[in-house]
């Protein structure tokens, strides 16, 4: 029986209805054990995009060739602006053209957009086929590939159409981060930073001390960042798979961030950039409500800026921000609910008066970036 590389880290995810592993390490594409034990089928489809496919699709096809009689590839257009019905239909078109059945396995090779759309397609095709996440960006490895959230965007709101559908496995080959553009690396660091204020202040301190190593892509630092992020997310998902309560804390910064993405038109700011700026706003909101000190809010803003992320939002106008945030999935009855820091290392979901939100927007949104 083949074995995983000695430096491979395994993080289990247990939801109560399903168990699967997150594999984290270098050289996993070429490690046969990374692909052992997956569902058997006659056919597999790799869904990637026009940027990632030329880099890694052939290696993944080679790794899977002895396990499936046919391994085909679909390269979607790249970018958040293509996370829509038209692009999703390309996956269904390919599956139907190839005569894919209920045993066909989908492999999502790429970042968060590819993972979200492939997972959603897997949830829908013939009412559910298995899929595997093979994330190639830092953001996808530490966040979007884990936990079974799948979706596409709507012009009125981000990720508004989707399903909870867990993968069979998540394979994080850290070697793929070598080809990640610097802007994408910074975007991924936003989701790494997020885990500190909401769950683990020791981890936040570690990020502050090791940020330069992360920006320099030092393998040991990246491995620890991905591992600890996945451990925290796996724990949260295990407690609340369908975001009925606790899991909402993972959306720290996302209410403001999703409004930025939707307000500008998807693809102008990267998701992680919008989340980073959104965390600045959410931390300030927490401070204005007396949940954390202004010093803590300033500390988080400094770290986000050091990571190369924007700390000032676009000038959409406070009315437009509020309009967009009212269609956030955490909103209830038209009332916006924010993930706030309820003391360092703890998060809470709370409704906030519009007047206080407007104060935050006046301080952190407008000309400049």
Q: Catalytic: which of 149, 158, 169, 194?
A: 149
**Token couple for 138:** 């830092």
Residue among 151, 98, 158, 154 at smallest CA distance from 126: 98
> HEC states along 61-87?
HHHHCCCCCEEEEEEECCCHHHCCHHH
Which residue is catalytic, options 271, 288, 337, 364? 271
With beta carbons less than 8 A apart as the criterion, state whether 327 and 156 touch: yes
149 is known as an active-site residue: yes
Residues 6+ apart with CB under 8 A from 296: 283, 287, 341, 344
Q: Which of 83, 158, 228, 254 is catalytic?
A: 254
Rounded CA Rg of the chain = 20
Question: 251, 288, 337, 364: which one is catalytic?
Answer: 251
Residue 324 sits at the vertex; the CA angle it makes with 323 and 326, to the nearest 5 degrees, is: 70
Please tell me which residue in 83, 194, 228, 233 is annotated as part of the active site.
233
Q: Looking at the DSSP assignment, which residues form a beta bridge with residue 23?
A: 10, 171
How many CA within 13 A on the CB side of residue 167?
A: 29
Contacts of range 64-67, beta carbons closer than 8 Å, 24 or more positions apart: 64/35, 64/107, 67/35, 67/38, 67/40
Alpha carbon 304 to chain centroid distance?
17
Q: Which residues does 209 contact at the CB level (< 8 Å), separation at least 6?
A: none
Q: What is the DSSP letter of 34?
A: G
Nearest Cα neighbor of 80 from 47, 109, 117 is 117
247 is catalytic: yes
Catalytic annotation present for 178: no
Q: Which of 243, 273, 329, 364 is catalytic?
A: 243
In 3D, which of 104, 109, 124 has the Cα closest to residue 78?
Answer: 109
Exactly one of 80, 191, 231, 261 is catalytic; which is it? 191
364 is catalytic: no
Would residue 243 show up in a list of annotated catalytic residues for this protein? yes
Residue 337: beta bridge partners?
A: 351
Indicate if 153 belongs to the active site: no
CB 214 within 8 A of CB 222: yes
Catalytic residues: 127, 149, 191, 233, 243, 247, 251, 254, 258, 271
């Amino acid at each position: 029986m083949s074995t995983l590389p000695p430096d491979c880290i395994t993080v289990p995810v247990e939801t109560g209805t399903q168990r699967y592993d997150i594999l984290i390490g270098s050289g996993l594409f070429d490690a046969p054990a990374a692909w052992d034990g997956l569902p058997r089928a006659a056919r597999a489809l790799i869904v990637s995009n026009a940027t990632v496919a030329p880099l890694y699709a052939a290696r993944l096809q080679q790794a899977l060739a002895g396990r499936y009689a046919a391994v085909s590839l679909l390269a979607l257009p790249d970018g958040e602006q293509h996370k829509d019905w038209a692009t999703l239909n390309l996956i269904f078109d390919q599956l139907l053209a190839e005569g894919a059945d209920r045993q066909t396995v989908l492999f999502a090779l790429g970042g968060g957009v590819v993972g979200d759309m492939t997972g959603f397609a897997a949830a829908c095709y013939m009412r559910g086929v298995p899929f595997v996440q093979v994330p190639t960006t830092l953001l996808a490895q530490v966040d979007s590939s884990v936990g079974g959230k799948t979706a596409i965007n709507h012009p009125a709101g981000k990720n508004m159409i989707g399903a909870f559908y867990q993968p069979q496995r998540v394979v994080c080959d850290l070697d793929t981060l070598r080809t990640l553009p610097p802007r994408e690396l910074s975007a991924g660091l936003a989701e790494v930073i997020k885990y500190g204020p909401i769950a683990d202040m020791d981890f936040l301190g570690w990020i502050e001390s090791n940020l330069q190593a992360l920006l320099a892509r030092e393998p040991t630092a990246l491995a620890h960042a991905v591992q600890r992020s996945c451990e925290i997310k796996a724990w949260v998902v295990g407690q609340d798979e369908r975001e009925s309560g606790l899991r909402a804390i993972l959306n720290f910064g996302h209410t403001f961030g999703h409004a930025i993405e939707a307000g500008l038109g998807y693809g102008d700011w990267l998701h992680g950039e919008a989340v980073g700026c959104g965390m600045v706003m959410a931390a300030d909101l927490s401070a204005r409500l007396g949940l954390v000190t202004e010093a803590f809010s300033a500390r988080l803003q400094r770290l986000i800026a050091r990571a190369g992320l924007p700390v000032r939002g676009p000038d959409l106008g406070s009315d437009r921000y509020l309009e967009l945030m009212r269609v956030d999935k955490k909103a209830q009855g038209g009332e916006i609910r924010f993930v706030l820091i309820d003391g360092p290392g703890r998060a809470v979901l709370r409704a906030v008066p519009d007047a206080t939100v407007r104060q935050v927007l006046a301080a952190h949104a407008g000309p400049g970036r």
